[in-house]
Amino acid sequence: MKLLQLPSFLRRSITFVLLPITLILLTCILILFFLLFSFALLLTNFTTSPENAFLRLYRVIAMITWYLFMECIGVLAAAALWLITCCGLFRNLRWSQQIHGKVQYIWTNGVLLGVRVLLNGHINYPDCSLLGSGPMIIVAQHRSFFDACVPSVLIGKANGETILRHVLKSELILSPSLDLFGHRLPNYFVMRNSDVRGREMASIAGLASGLNQDACVIFPEGTFYSTHRFQRALTEIASSDSSRVSRVQNLKHVLPLRPGGILALLNSAPDADLVFIGHHGFDQFSSFRDILRNVPFSEPISITLKRITNSQLPQDDDERLIFLDHEWTEIDRWNEKMSIEHHS
């Protein structure tokens, strides 16, 4: 996208202006929808189905409006923190990073609050005590627009000291609040179609340097699950490392992980524990069409955690890849189990 290639000042000038304009327009649309829906109910003597297509669309527009409102809150919070840190002079100090991390937790929790209230997406959180302190490399499943918020919320529930370092796709800098907080915290935005793979891996590895009590988060699937993407991933694996095919070909709910980033992080932080985050139910949010079809959601969202201590991890990259594929398969099996339970 050409907008990504613009200097940050020009890019933010565009996105920061569009944000309030879009929020105001959607708020007006919500009010109009509410008036039209109320009038329609009067005409039908309140016999209209409570969850018809009109109301589902209203819920979705309300969620988009809520997200844009949270974006505005994030930008205002970033402006306040810029002043608190003396115009950004102290933004790299530990106390400043922790404040930004806590605001990030509040922001992501706020986004998921909208999912729960407006879309009826109830989330069952696990025991977060496993995430007490780092160093940790967190490997998270990625199935929807909203599950990227999960690691921040889980860390925030566990403690207020750990600072998350994210490996994120570069398109997310088009989100004004993520643009600001993403560049103030030690994150790295990956150009997924980059021709300089070596430089990308070096930058990802650098993210885990000096991790200490903090954590790195990576979403190794790279994108949302779909049958087409799964088959494409299998074809790529068959051409590059055919020995992996038998280990990943039976996955049903997750894409085969792309190991480069995880291995780079593990090699850069050899004393770090490995944490896997899996979830079931976010597949209902994979696209706008899915959300519109499934809202209000009847199936709860479940999250699972597993922490593997550093002493249990293989030290050789080939053995690590086998180990990672095995643990990723366990995430897939857990998803299958949850799917059977929810549909039985």
Q: What is the pLDDT of residues 117-147, one digit of tens each?
A: 998 889 999 988 889 887 999 999 998 888 9
User: Residue 138 forms beta bridges with which residues?
Assistant: 217, 275
Q: Is 319 exposed, middle or buried (0-12, 13-18, 19+ CB in 10 A)?
A: exposed
Q: In a structure prediction context, what are the per-residue pLDDT tens digits for the chain, which is 344 residues long?
A: 566 767 787 887 888 888 888 888 888 888 887 777 665 555 554 444 545 777 888 888 889 899 999 999 999 999 999 999 988 888 889 999 999 999 999 999 999 999 999 988 899 999 888 898 879 999 999 988 889 999 999 999 987 789 999 999 888 888 899 899 999 999 999 876 655 577 888 999 999 998 988 999 999 998 888 889 999 999 999 998 888 999 999 999 999 999 999 999 999 999 999 999 999 998 877 777 888 888 888 888 999 999 999 999 998 999 999 999 999 999 999 999 998 887 76
Candidates 163, 176, 244; CA nearest to 207 is 163
Q: What is the DSSP letter of 287?
A: S
Number of C-beta neighbours around residue 270 at 10 A: 11
Distance CA 125, CA 103 (A): 20
Q: What is the pLDDT of residues 92-114, one digit of tens each?
A: 899 999 999 999 999 999 999 99
- One DSSP character per residue, 102-129 reads HHHHHHHHHHHHHHHHHH---EE---GG
| HSE toward the beta carbon, residue 59, CA cutoff 13 A | 23
Torsion-angle region of 212 (φ positive above 0: left; ψ -120 to 50: alpha; else: beta): left
Number of C-beta neighbours around residue 266 at 10 A: 24
Average model confidence (pLDDT) across the chain: 87
The answer to whether 277 and 305 are in contact (CB under 8 A) is: yes
pTM here?
0.89
- Domain residues of the chain, as ranges? 2-343
273 three-class SS: strand
> C-alpha distances in angstroms, 266 versus 137, 211, 217, 274?
7, 11, 12, 8
Q: How high is the pLDDT of residue 239?
A: 93
Share of the chain above pLDDT 90, in %: 51
Q: What is the pLDDT of residues 236-252, one digit of tens each?
A: 999 988 889 999 999 99
Secondary structure percentages of the chain, helix, strand, coil, to 5: 60, 10, 30
Q: How high is the pLDDT of residue 18?
A: 84
Q: What is the pLDDT of residues 300-314, one digit of tens each?
A: 899 999 999 999 999
